[in-house]
Amino acid sequence: MKRLKNGTWKYRNVTIVPTPLGTYPEMVTILKAPKRLNELVGKKYINLFKTQVAIETVTAEKLIEAGAGSVEKQLESLGKGKFKNE
């Protein structure tokens, strides 16, 4: 995680800004994100660590979905994984 001069944070091309509240002085909000992580924009987290976990989780889920699509294509080329006895 990289702290920028204007007080914001940058992690994996995601811009995070501090938005403290009385009970949560470490609260942050995701301001900008790449298109693949666009679902996180505007979400608030209680600290930077929870924000990192959310970013890593969404990134991992996207990679898993992409891998599943690749496996499905391979199975389709094999006839859905069913081998014919001819």
Per-residue pLDDT for 70 more than 80?
no
Percent of the chain with pLDDT over 70: 92
pLDDT at 77: 77
Whole-structure pTM over 0.85, yes or no? no
DSSP 1: -
- Pairing of β 28-32 and β 44-45: antiparallel
CA–CA gap between residue 55 and residue 33 (Å, rounded): 10
